[in-house]
Amino acid sequence: MNWSKTPNGILDAISDMSEAELKLTLVIVRHTIGYHRESVRMTYDDMETLTKLSRPAVGRAINQIEKRGFFTRGRKSMWVVNSNNLLLNEGENSNNSLLSEEENSNKLLPYYSNNLLPPSIKDKEKKEEKKKGEDKPPPTHAPSPAALRAEMIIKLCGLDSDVPTHKRKAGWAAGQVAKFSPEYLQARYEYTDTPNGSWYWYRDDWRGVAGQTPTPENIVETITKDRKLTKGGKGQTGKTTAQIIDEAFAAIGNGQGLEGF
């Protein structure tokens, strides 16, 4: 069984101690007298970890402990046992029994360094930190615009993303049509019964009308096409094929003939 000697002076003062002072006092006892040492280096972070107290509570506890005089906090976070104050009523030979053991007592010490935490506690904390890191889901990164265009081209062209050559072709085409969004590509090259008024592969290209799926090269070739028969301007209508056909049928229906068409 592992245990640490605690001076009677500390036990007698328990009724006057706050909870924070008692916790920190016992931690210091454990890591000084408990390891048969007269001092130990203990930072604020160490004290917070071992007592589970907040930093303000640790600060108040330090002040109370120093006023009581059992321990002195020196430079570089070093706590020193005030043997005289702790051993007033311990008996003539108590100093030897408190901080010294048999010649082989060092064999019982878990470590000899100035570090506060024994290896067992450090290893446990490292394992807990590692476990926390493993529990976190891996970071997710949104696909780039180029990747989204390539995915859309693969879909529209009926390619297989697992085939390297297909993936390379789609990537090349995505770079060539960089100023167009995946949604724009979808509107122009995905088969639908209700295409919009813009240029549409399955309606306005003879290969699409024949039922051919576009290739990445076809998309690059036709991406800038529109349905206008003329570019507009003086002496030019600037109307789409659908508009001209609709107006022609309307004119016939009204008996106006096809003059002007």
pLDDT of residue 135: 66
pLDDT of residue 56: 93
pTM over cut 0.75? no
Q: Percent of the chain, pLDDT > 70?
A: 67
Residue 45: CB atoms within 10 A of its CB come to 12
**Alpha-carbon distance 25 to 64, whole Å?**
10
Confidence check: pLDDT of 211 > 70: yes
**CA distances for 29 relative to 7, 127, 155, 210, angstroms:** 9, 27, 70, 90
pLDDT of residue 3: 79
Q: Quick one: 91 exposed, middle or buried, by C-beta within 10 A (0-12, 13-18, 19+)?
A: exposed
Confidence check: pLDDT of 230 > 50: no
**Alpha-carbon distance 201 to 188, whole Å?**
6
Confidence check: pLDDT of 53 > 70: yes
Domains in the chain (CATH in brackets) are: 8-134 (1.10.10.10), 145-227 (no CATH), 228-261 (no CATH)
Confidence check: pLDDT of 126 > 80: no
Side by side, the strands of the sheet bearing 78-81 are 39-41, 78-81, 71-73
**Alpha-carbon distance 208 to 240, whole Å?**
19
Instruction: Give the tens place of pLDDT for each residue, 86-119.
Output: 654 444 444 444 554 443 344 333 333 344 555 5
- Residues forming a β-bridge with 39: 80
Instruction: Tell which residue, 139, 13, 100, has the closest CA to residue 65.
Output: 13
**Alpha-carbon distance 44 to 54, whole Å?**
10
pLDDT of residue 121: 54
Confidence check: pLDDT of 132 > 90: no
Instruction: Give the tens place of pLDDT for each residue, 236-248.
Output: 445 555 565 666 6
Please tell me which residue, 68 or 261, carries the higher pLDDT value. Answer: 68
pLDDT of residue 40: 87
Instruction: Give the tens place of pLDDT for each residue, 24-40.
Output: 999 999 888 888 888 88
pLDDT of residue 244: 58
Mean pLDDT score of the chain: 77
Instruction: Tell which residue, 84, 90, 70, has the closest CA to residue 8.
Output: 90
